[in-house]
């Protein structure tokens, strides 16, 4: 679908006319991310992060494919081949640091993208499918990142793989067979390393496929916007190109400055020193923690310390998976007809003073050692996390009195519909 | 219906988490927890390669290499470091060849095919002094001396940690022993205030000043030797460290320039349709 005022692609040269007849790829791009895609004119910088996430997916695939040319997925040589990349491959150190820190930046960008969605209720009708596909992408990213961290075959790689696959062992009856099936053995070894490498190479392309569906689904209703008011007229929109290509270009510049500051000057601060020790099944590290982007969910996993009908470990595993899976149900839990948090006074308070501090705390606590007072704190914040999504959001959306919305995006930007600069063909506002 | 189920599930998880909290808090309040062993954080030493503009102090790396060769290499190898890379420490090609030949590495007798030892060549890595892990364990009271190639990256604050650990050996203080009787070194262990559990299997490698005679005349105090070898091991852990920082600057300056241009073009493109005065409140 598109808006009736969307600009039409007109091939001008012989080559583009030829292409448009045989394979209208330029037309497709023009309509997807070019001048043919009308976008709300009031998007703020929070709307940069979708494009950035797409960029980092490409960045990871390109650096990853180069690394795979030099890496050897065998438990005997994986660690040495990683060091070979760092020392002997021309610019190998740059590729590996860019890939490792690029993964972190991919998650930073995607977390901001997701929390943008929470605040502006981007999951609401008619955009449920975009949201569902987004959660699928996030789950695939987590699986990909976890398996990627195993590949250098350092101590954290090995013990992280052991702990995370051990989670499946908590499932009653079938848990242990599942764990052995996943690893191809009783503990992480060559079989596990090889299949993780294979899947780590495959899954990014699966993600790219789901990203295409995500963007396809986005183009049906068009982009959301900070007011949450749907597009009514031409003056509410600007063409994606040049307006948002220019704005995204600036955002990309900032993101790359931040990424390469990390890559060149602080390449190891987001990793763990233990992963520069070769995997040793006979020596357990003092603190086994995953990469930082898993910390909130790791904190939730460790918060359940008490056997209560079910064993504590099973509670932790259920809670950890539920913490992400519950996002799938958000479009139906939040009943408020108003999308944007700007017009929802009560929802907004719970977002800024409830959800954001809780996520910040869980990020910190997931990386802290499993001892008091960290465990007690993560129990409190875990309780709030579930209350926020499953209890507070459904109830607030029923009892809250939203503030009045602007008539249109144009009115929100210009103060009045009449001053519209764009859109001579638009119906005048009533 | 879905919301009622959600509220019940949410309350369920929250209640179990809060009951866990209550039980944990009760245990925390009533039971004594074992305090951590009082080990010290590493000393902060200044190095030439610190900071975004850091460069190698080649003379220091050469001194550190000598400490490694004469002291550390008795037990530890550098299996990821090729001898050819000594050229980065300011040695000429001939010097590197001569230096490599002073090391004995495992080889094969070309006439009989039997395992033997031969003089090193620049393409060899610095060898471990032990033929295998079993031999290493047998010679060291069951504690295998780790390879040092990556040591400064494999510990938090690694360069400072290595420099501190080498001078951190001392008798356990009476106060520590009174509070933690388990901090007394067992047989074959040595007390070191920088080691997380206070006792390690490595005997103090640097015993007295002048243990190594530096070629450049620098006085070989204990601190001098430990700092120099920590600098050398920082180089072995990441020989590309300085190149990395030096590559970073042009990249960042280019990106900064590109980002400013991107900002200006964004401003230019949007100026046509931006309202002169942004309405403060979108709800007006």
Q: Judge whether B266 is closer than 8 Å to chain A, CB to CB.
A: yes
pLDDT exceeds cutoff 80 at B35:
no
Q: How many whole angstroms separate alpha carbon A225 and alpha carbon A120?
A: 8
Tell if the CB–CB gap between B244 and A242 is shorter than 8 Å: no
Residues 6 or more apart whose Cβ sits within 8 Å of residue A325: none
User: What does the buried/exposed string (b/e) look like for A62-91 if buried means 16 or more CB atoms within 10 Å of the residue's CB?
Assistant: ebbebbeeebebebeebbebbbbbbbebee
Is A219 noted as a catalytic residue in this protein? yes
- In this prediction, residue B283 carries a pLDDT of 44
Structure tokens, A202: 């495959």
Structure tokens, A417: 């519909």
Q: Is the distance from CB of A201 to CB of A107 less than 8 angstroms?
A: no
Q: Judge whether B115 is closer than 8 Å to chain A, CB to CB.
A: no
Is A349 noted as a catalytic residue in this protein? no
Least confident interval from A1-10, A36-45, B105-114, B259-268: A1-10
- In this prediction, residue A189 carries a pLDDT of 94
Closest Cα to residue B216, out of B17, B66, B75, B74?
B66
Q: Judge whether A322 is closer than 8 Å to chain B, CB to CB.
A: yes
Structure tokens, B197: 């559990």
Structure tokens, A86: 């760092």
**pLDDT (mean) for B19-25:** 90
Tell if the CB–CB gap between B21 and A383 is shorter than 8 Å: yes
- In this prediction, residue B94 carries a pLDDT of 96
User: What does the buried/exposed string (b/e) look like for A301-311 if buried means 16 or more CB atoms within 10 Å of the residue's CB?
Assistant: bbbbbbeeeee
- In this prediction, residue B278 carries a pLDDT of 55
Q: How many whole angstroms separate alpha carbon B84 and alpha carbon B121?
A: 8
- A226: which chain B residues are within 8 Å (Cβ-Cβ)? 282
Helix or strand run (H / E) with residue A55: helix A49-68
Q: How many whole angstroms separate alpha carbon B251 and alpha carbon A257?
A: 9
Q: Judge whether A186 is closer than 8 Å to chain B, CB to CB.
A: no
- pLDDT confidence tier of residue B36, bands split at 50, 70 and 90: confident
CA distance A202 to chain B (A): 30
Nearest CA in chain B to A80: B80
Q: Give me the residues of B, 221-260, that contact A with CB < 8 A.
A: 237-240, 244-245, 247-249, 251-252, 255-256, 258-259
Closest Cα to residue A11, out of A29, A32, A28, A26?
A26
CA distance B238 to chain A (A): 8
B169 three-class SS = strand
Preferred mutation among B1, B15, B20 to probe A, highest tally of A CBs within 10 A: B20
- In this prediction, residue B279 carries a pLDDT of 53
Q: How many whole angstroms separate alpha carbon B153 and alpha carbon B84?
A: 22
Q: How many whole angstroms separate alpha carbon A426 and alpha carbon A340?
A: 25
Q: How many whole angstroms separate alpha carbon B14 and alpha carbon B37?
A: 35
Q: How many whole angstroms separate alpha carbon B65 and alpha carbon A168?
A: 48
Nearest CA in chain A to B54: A265
| Bridge partner residues of B169 (DSSP) | B192
Q: How many whole angstroms separate alpha carbon A79 and alpha carbon A73?
A: 9
Tell if the CB–CB gap between B244 and A264 is shorter than 8 Å: yes
Q: Is the distance from CB of A322 to CB of B9 less than 8 angstroms?
A: yes
Closest Cα to residue A225, out of A110, A330, A137, A343?
A343
Quick one: A16 exposed, middle or buried, by C-beta within 10 A (0-12, 13-18, 19+)? middle
- In this prediction, residue A275 carries a pLDDT of 95
Q: Is the distance from CB of B229 to CB of B68 less than 8 angstroms?
A: yes
Closest Cα to residue B128, out of B110, B108, B152, B144?
B144
Q: How many whole angstroms separate alpha carbon B89 and alpha carbon B91?
A: 6
> Across all residues in chain B, what is the average pLDDT?
91
Q: Judge whether B178 is closer than 8 Å to chain A, CB to CB.
A: no
Backbone phi, then psi, for B116, in 5-degree steps? -150, 180
Domains of chain A: 35-412 (1.20.810.10)
Q: Judge whether B11 is closer than 8 Å to chain A, CB to CB.
A: yes
Q: Give me the residues of A, 351-410, that contact B with CB < 8 A.
A: 371-373, 375-376, 379-380, 382-384, 386-387, 389-391, 394-395, 403-406
Q: Judge whether A328 is closer than 8 Å to chain B, CB to CB.
A: no
Q: Is the distance from CB of A233 to CB of A412 less than 8 angstroms?
A: no
Tell if the CB–CB gap between A319 and B17 is shorter than 8 Å: yes
Of B11, B251, B272, the CB nearest to A260: B251
- pLDDT confidence tier of residue B181, bands split at 50, 70 and 90: confident
Q: Give me the residues of A, 84-143, that contact B with CB < 8 A.
A: 86-87, 93-94, 97
- In this prediction, residue A418 carries a pLDDT of 60
A275 three-class SS = helix
In tens, the pLDDT along B204-247 reads 999 989 899 999 999 999 999 999 999 999 999 999 999 999 99
**pLDDT (mean) for B144-152:** 95
B282 three-class SS = coil
Tell if the CB–CB gap between B14 and A384 is shorter than 8 Å: yes
CA distance B77 to chain A (A): 14
Q: How many whole angstroms separate alpha carbon A206 and alpha carbon B262?
A: 32
DSSP notation for A159-179: HHHHHHHHHHTTSTTTHHHHH
Backbone phi, then psi, for A278, in 5-degree steps? -65, 145
Tell if the CB–CB gap between A264 and B245 is shorter than 8 Å: yes
Q: Which candidate in A234, A236, A248, A334 is catalytic? A: A248
Residue A341, number of CB atoms within 10 A of its CB = 19
Q: How many whole angstroms separate alpha carbon A215 and alpha carbon A231?
A: 18
- Cis amide linkage into residue A242, ω under 30° from 0: yes
Backbone phi, then psi, for B126, in 5-degree steps? -65, 120
Angle at A181 between CA A179 and CA A183, to 5 degrees: 70
Structure tokens, B204: 């103090």
Least confident interval from B36-40, B164-168, B209-213: B36-40
Q: Is the distance from CB of A223 to CB of A46 less than 8 angstroms?
A: no
- A332: which chain B residues are within 8 Å (Cβ-Cβ)? 2-3
Q: How many whole angstroms separate alpha carbon A27 and alpha carbon A222?
A: 18
Angle at B251 between CA B246 and CA B255, to 5 degrees: 150
Tell if the CB–CB gap between A261 and B248 is shorter than 8 Å: yes
pTM of the predicted protein model = 0.93
Of A249, A264, A376, the CB nearest to B24: A376
Closest Cα to residue A24, out of A32, A34, A16?
A16
pLDDT exceeds cutoff 70 at B38:
yes
CA distance A331 to chain B (A): 11
Quick one: A140 exposed, middle or buried, by C-beta within 10 A (0-12, 13-18, 19+)? middle
Tell if the CB–CB gap between B252 and A268 is shorter than 8 Å: no
CA distance A35 to chain B (A): 13
Tell which wins on pLDDT, A85 or B196.
Answer: A85
Q: How many whole angstroms separate alpha carbon B78 and alpha carbon B120?
A: 14
Residues 6 or more apart whose Cβ sits within 8 Å of residue A54: A211
Least confident interval from A371-385, B119-133, B183-197: B183-197
Q: Which candidate in A234, A274, A291, A400 is catalytic? A: A291
Helix or strand run (H / E) with residue B104: strand B104-108
- In this prediction, residue A426 carries a pLDDT of 43
What single DSSP character describes residue A202? H
Nearest CA in chain B to A380: B18
Tell if the CB–CB gap between B275 and A415 is shorter than 8 Å: yes
| Bridge partner residues of B199 (DSSP) | B191
Q: Judge whether A264 is closer than 8 Å to chain B, CB to CB.
A: yes
Residues 6 or more apart whose Cβ sits within 8 Å of residue A379: A303, A305, B17, B18, B20, B21, B24
Tell if the CB–CB gap between B269 and A390 is shorter than 8 Å: no
pLDDT under 50: residue ranges of chain A? 421-430
- In this prediction, residue A428 carries a pLDDT of 41
Q: Which candidate in A122, A157, A223, A235 is catalytic? A: A223
pLDDT exceeds cutoff 50 at B138:
yes
Tell if the CB–CB gap between B20 and A389 is shorter than 8 Å: no
Q: Judge whether A348 is closer than 8 Å to chain B, CB to CB.
A: no
Closest Cα to residue A326, out of A146, A145, A131, A164?
A131
Query: What whole-number percentage of chain B has pLDDT above 70?
Result: 96
Angle between helices A92-119 and A49-68 (to 10 degrees): 150
Tell if the CB–CB gap between A257 and B14 is shorter than 8 Å: no
Closest Cα to residue B196, out of B226, B157, B236?
B157
Could you identify the residue written with the tokens 């690394």? A67
């Amino acid at each position: 679908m598109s808006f009736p005022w969307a600009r039409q692609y007109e091939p001008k040269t012989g080559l583009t006319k030829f292409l448009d007849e045989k394979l209208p790829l330029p037309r497709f791009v023009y309509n997807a991310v070019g001048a043919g895609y009308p976008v709300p004119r009031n998007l703020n910088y929070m709307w940069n992060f979708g494009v950035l996430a797409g960029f980092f997916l490409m960045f990871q695939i390109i650096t990853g494919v180069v690394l795979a040319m030099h890496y050897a997925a065998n438990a005997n040589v994986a660690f040495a081949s990683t060091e070979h990349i760092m020392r002997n491959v021309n610019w190998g150190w740059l590729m590996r640091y860019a890939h490792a820190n690029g993964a972190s930046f991919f998650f930073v960008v995607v977390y901001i993208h997701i929390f943008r969605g929470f605040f502006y209720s981007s999951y609401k009708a008619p955009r449920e499918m975009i949201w569902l596909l987004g959660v699928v992408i996030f789950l695939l990213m987590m699986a990909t990142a976890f398996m990627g961290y195993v590949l250098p075959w350092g101590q954290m790689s090995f013990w992280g793989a052991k702990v995370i696959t051990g989670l499946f062992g908590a499932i009653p009856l079938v848990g242990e067979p599942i764990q052995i099936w996943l690893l191809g053995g009783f503990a992480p070894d060559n079989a596990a390393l090889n299949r993780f490498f294979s899947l780590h190479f495959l899954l990014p392309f699966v993600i790219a496929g789901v990203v295409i569906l995500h963007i396809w689904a986005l183009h049906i209703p068009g982009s959301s916007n900070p007011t949450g008011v749907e597009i009514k007229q031409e003056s509410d929109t600007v063409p994606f190109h040049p307006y948002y290509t220019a704005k995204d270009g600036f955002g990309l510049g900032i993101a790359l400055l931040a990424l390469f500051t990390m890559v060149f000057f602080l390449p190891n601060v987001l990793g763990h020193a233990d992963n520069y020790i070769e995997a040793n099944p006979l020596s357990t590290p003092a603190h086994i923690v995953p990469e930082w982007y898993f910390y909130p969910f790791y904190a939730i996993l460790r918060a359940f310390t008490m056997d209560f009908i079910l064993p504590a470990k099973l509670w932790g595993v259920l809670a950890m998976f539920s913490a992400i899976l519950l996002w799938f149900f958000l479009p139906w839990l939040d009943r408020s007809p108003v999308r944007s948090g700007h017009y929802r006074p009560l929802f907004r308070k719970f977002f800024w003073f409830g959800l954001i501090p809780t996520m910040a705390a869980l990020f910190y606590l997931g990386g802290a050692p499993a001892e008091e007072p960290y465990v007690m704190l993560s129990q409190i914040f875990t309780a709030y996390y579930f209350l926020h999504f499953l209890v507070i959001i459904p109830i607030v959306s029923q009892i809250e009195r939203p503030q009045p919305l602007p008539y249109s995006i144009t009115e929100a930007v210009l103060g009045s519909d009449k001053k519209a600069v764009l859109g001579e063909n638009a119906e005048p506002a009533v | 219906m879905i919301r009622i189920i959600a509220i019940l599930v949410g309350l369920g998880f929250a209640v179990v988490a809060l009951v866990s909290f209550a039980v944990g808090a009760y245990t925390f309040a009533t039971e004594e927890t074992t305090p951590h062993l009082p080990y010290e954080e590493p000393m902060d030493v200044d190095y030439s390669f610190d900071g975004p503009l850091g460069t190698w102090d080649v003379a220091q790396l050469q001194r550190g290499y000598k400490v490694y060769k004469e002291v550390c290499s008795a037990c530890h190898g550098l299996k990821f470091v090729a001898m050819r890379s000594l050229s980065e420490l300011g040695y000429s090609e001939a010097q590197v060849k001569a230096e490599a030949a002073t090391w004995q590495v495992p080889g094969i007798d070309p006439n009989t095919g039997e395992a033997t030892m031969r003089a090193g060549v620049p393409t060899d890595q610095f060898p471990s002094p032990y033929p295998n892990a079993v031999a290493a364990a047998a010679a060291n009271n069951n504690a295998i001396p780790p390879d040092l190639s990556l040591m400064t990256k494999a510990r938090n604050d690694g360069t400072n940690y290595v420099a501190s650990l080498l001078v951190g050996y001392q008798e356990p203080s009476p106060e520590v022993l009174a509070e933690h009787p388990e901090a007394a070194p067992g047989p074959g262990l040595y007390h070191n205030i920088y080691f997380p559990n206070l006792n390690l299997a490595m005997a103090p490698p640097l015993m007295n000043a002048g243990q190594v005679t530096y070629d450049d005349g620098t006085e070989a105090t204990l601190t001098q030797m430990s700092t120099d070898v920590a600098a050398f091991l920082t180089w072995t852990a990441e020989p590309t460290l300085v190149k990395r920082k030096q590559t970073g600057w042009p990249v960042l300056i280019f990106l900064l320039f590109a980002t400013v241009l991107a900002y200006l073009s964004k401003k230019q493109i949007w100026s046509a349709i931006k309202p002169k005065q942004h309405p403060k409140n979108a709800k007006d």
